[in-house]
Amino acid sequence: MTAQPLAVYDGLVKRYGTVTAVDGLSFEVPEGAVCGLLGPNGAGKTTAIRALLGLAAPTAGSTAVLDERPGSPGFAAAVRRVGTLIEGPAIYARTTARKNMRIEAAALSLHGAEAQIEELLALVGLTDRADTRAGTFSMGMKQRLGLALALLGGPRLVVLDEPTNGLDPAGIVEVRKLIKELPARGTTVLVSSHQLAEVELMCDRATIIHRGRLLAEGTIAELLARHGGAGFATQVAPDEAGRAAEILRRAGLTATTQDDGRLAVAGAIDDGAQISRPLADEGIHVRELWREGARLEGVFLALTEDGDEEQAGAASAEVTT
């Protein structure tokens, strides 16, 4: 992706005493993407997000958000322009949801924000409860209000730390859908999660971290193709495998030839015909086509097999069939 990165991690290290929460993390959040920061409990997701926003001082390395680094004159203003939802939303408990939105709009110096406030309350499903005191909200409702607050002013970047925490299954589906649609509204997303399936469903890219260290980074399709097998596998005549991979790549899929002559194919594939048809059009006939079980969960398990990313890297190379 060639878009300009809106957030940059450059060798970030954060230690708390003897605990290394983040250990040399480097990756970028390109404009227009939904980027997942994925890792189990204690992996360092919240610490990494706090550092980006200047809430935790790095031990080493650096970060930048909207081209500003912590300590630079423009940093505070850049952070104010970022919509954030970290470890439970900052809301005024004694006042209503709508009033919370008005207070935030005023803090952002947004004038004439009423229509936007109503639109965002509707977007997060809180219109009916807009005049209820936020302190009486369930955790899920507070998360939704936090999301609406983060989206006020149509920020170019939102940073969301586990935004689906506390939501019921229906709420999780709605919030994921909403997050997926943010790039179309001009908002790039950095979102953390410990749920592999969630990141796979909601994100274009993922940065997988474990014990503060980066294990893998890329688009979901790249990660699946590189580390976790693929969505589909197909077999063509061995002497046609290379050309078949080329055709599938031109069709927008990730196709990797395996040692045994099979092709691992990943991408937005709903139907095997998306693989067989472009090949048939070029005179290559599929001998076998089957759906592979490996998903992002498989990628993560392969990468963390020994809790050591070097060994895990070696292990993952063997998991590509």
| Chain residues that interact with ligand ATP, rule: CB under 6 A | 16, 19, 21, 39, 41-47, 194
**Distance between CA atoms of residues 154 and 266, nearest Å:** 33
CA distance 124 to 9: 30
Q: Which is nearer to Mg ion, 192 or 219 (CB)?
A: 192
Closer to Mg ion at the Cβ: 45 or 227?
Answer: 45
Q: Helices marked H in 88-237 — which ranges?
A: 97-107, 114-123, 139-151, 169-181, 196-202, 220-227
Choose the stretch contacting Mg ion; rule: CB under 5 A; options: 10-18, 30-38, 43-51, 209-217: 43-51
Q: Which is nearer to ligand ATP, 52 or 265 (CB)?
A: 52
Residue 110 C-beta: closest distance to ligand ATP, Å: 30
Q: Does 46 bind Mg ion (CB under 5 A)?
A: yes
Would you say 238 and 284 are in contact if contact means Cβ atoms under 8 Å apart?
Answer: no
Q: Which is nearer to ligand ATP, 221 or 296 (CB)?
A: 296
Comparing CB distances to ligand ATP, the nearer of 44 and 153 is 44
CB neighbours of residue 282 within 10 Å? 12
**d(C-alpha 147, C-alpha 163), whole Å:** 8
Q: Which window, 17-25, 38-46, 127-135, 270-278, contacts Mg ion (CB under 5 A)?
A: 38-46
From the list ligand ATP, Mg ion, none, which binds 226 (C-beta under 5 to 8 Å, kind-based)?
A: none
Cα 16 to chain centroid, rounded: 26
Question: Least distance in Å: CB of 194 to ligand ATP?
Answer: 5
Nearer to ligand ATP, 56 or 97 (CB): 56
Q: Which two tokens stand for residue 35?
A: 């980027």
3 three-state secondary structure: coil
Using the minimum distance from each CB to Mg ion, give the nearer residue, 90 or 280: 90
Query: Do 66 and 82 contact (CB within 8 A), yes or no?
Result: yes
| Residue 96 site contact among ligand ATP, Mg ion, none (CB < 5 to 8 Å, cut-off depends on kind) | none
| 164 lies in the binding site for Mg ion (CB under 5 A) | no
Q: Does 143 bind Mg ion (CB under 5 A)?
A: no
Q: Which amino acid is at 129?
A: R
User: What is the DSSP annotation of 48-98?
Assistant: HHHHHTTSS--SEEEEEETTB-TTSTTHHHHHHTSEEE-SS----TTSBHH
47, interface contact from ligand ATP, Mg ion, none, CB < 5-8 Å by kind: ligand ATP
- Partner that binds at residue 197, options Mg ion, ligand ATP, none, CB closer than 5 to 8 Å by kind: none
Strand 83-85 and strand 60-65: pairing? unpaired
Residue with nearest beta carbon to Mg ion = 46
Please report, as ranges, the residues that interact with Mg ion according to CB under 5 A.
Answer: 45-46
